[in-house]
Amino acid sequence: MALFLQGCTFAQQYASSLLHGKSQSSTRALKLGVLSTARINSAAVIHPAETHPDVELYGIASRDAQTAKNAATKYGFSKSYGSYQELLDDPLISMVYISLPNSLHFEWSKKALIAGKHVLCEKPFTSNAEEARELFRVAEERRLVVEEAFHWQFHPAAHLFRNILESNKYDRIIRTDAWMTSTPAIPSGDIRWQYDLGGGSLMDECYALSFTRYALHNERPKQILSAAARPSKDDGRVDAAMHALLLFEDDNGNPITSRIYTDLSRSRLGGVLPRVWELPSIEVETDAAIIYFYNAMMPHIYHYISITDKRTGITEYKTQSSGGPIWGDRWTTGGKGGKSYWSTYRWQLEAFMERVRDKEPICWVPSEDTVIHMECIDEIYKKAGMPIRGDPMEVVKDEKVRMAQKMEQTETSGRSEKT
């Protein structure tokens, strides 16, 4: 559903921009730089920044100067840069948003921190847990903000979901089931299929793991009970799909089993029609109820939280687009409780800017939670018999393969010339 949801959120953000216009920047607005001209930028940071008075869309960078210039003209950036480092060297930029391929998150986030910039980095935060720990170390050392962009956790619907689970009305949690799939399937050649770029379904669709850990207060699993991957046809190190079963425990030591399912290539129904009933979601079963959060990933497009009481058989439905348990009494740049048309990305930007301003944001993804999240991904890959991303041994192996291929091509070319 990734491509389908992306299309929906692009349309929603574009319509919101037209209907609600742009906010006038405040005199204290901070300059934002964007590393890459990735398609996600418009929904993830550009349109959200348009309605945040403390953010100025200042610079955008690409490896190609003309590409960067075109993006700057299209979206109203003041400057463009023909390299990522050139943007980081600009002393006027206070913060950067990084939407580069997964394998480049660590390198450029670290360079941005060293250059004195606050960082909002797309998920997955890094290639592995070791890299995540290093980024937070550098950020703490330099007293800078670095945040993984798990935008859905900032939305009021997510807070309502957790509030329902915490209410004790439905007793203890006994199991969870979370999923994220892609229909149409991610096309071949996409970076999500490339191991060297941090590809794989668990990496790209780690929202399913995020939903699960959020519902369970971001706990560390006691054990990865099982993990089975369906390898990509082109590279056995890349998971086209991943099934994992995790064991958690509640505060009283009671077991909670959690299933995670990710899939980049759901090809049924001809692989063309989106399976809208499979929007990224999570189901939580308690002793007394089944609680289902439909489209937890992008609730600003559409969502509902259904609660089926096992004791009565009655199902009730809830939604939350602004205010709610956390934002309800909070004054934001959009007024008290925020705006109902804000996307998950806009709510995220609200919190990010509070932290950058050295305030205490009302909700946040703590560094320790991000590290545990990456540790879980590493352990699931190991359990499935697959290499973790950024594994030095795999890098060496790749280099040897490339060298062998190059030598073979040279020899073949030489034989042809002699013939």
Give the count of alpha carbons within 13 A of 84, CB side only.
20
Rounded to whole angstroms, the maximal C-alpha distance in the chain is 84
Task: Extract the tokens encoding 249.
Answer: 């425990």
Cis status, amide bond into 325, omega within 30 of 0 = no
Residues in the chain: 419
What are the angstrom distances between the C-alpha of 181 and each of 1, 99, 116, 249, 282?
5, 21, 37, 27, 12
Q: Map residue 403 onto helix, strand or coil.
A: helix
- Give 3-state DSSP helix, strand, coil % of the chain, rounded to 5: 40, 20, 35
Query: Which residues face 34 on adjacent strands?
Result: 60, 97
What are the angstrom distances between the C-alpha of 75 and each of 44, 142, 363?
13, 31, 29
Q: Which of 123, 233, 318, 359 is catalytic?
A: 123
Our answer to whether residue 123 is catalytic in this structure is yes
Spatial contact of 265 and 185, defined as CB atoms under 8 Å apart: yes
DSSP string across 12-28: HHHHHHHHH--PPPPTT
Place of tokens 């007024």: 335
> From the CB of residue 42, how many other CB atoms can be counted at a distance below 10 Å?
18
DSSP string across 147-214: EE--GGGGSHHHHHHHHHHHTSTT--EEEEEEEEE-SSPPPTT-GGG-GGGT-SHHHHTTHHHHHHHH
Spatial contact of 181 and 263, defined as CB atoms under 8 Å apart: yes
Spatial contact of 256 and 272, defined as CB atoms under 8 Å apart: no
Sheet holding 173-181, edge to edge: 223-231, 239-249, 255-263, 173-181, 281-286, 289-294, 304-309, 315-318
What are the catalytic residues? 123
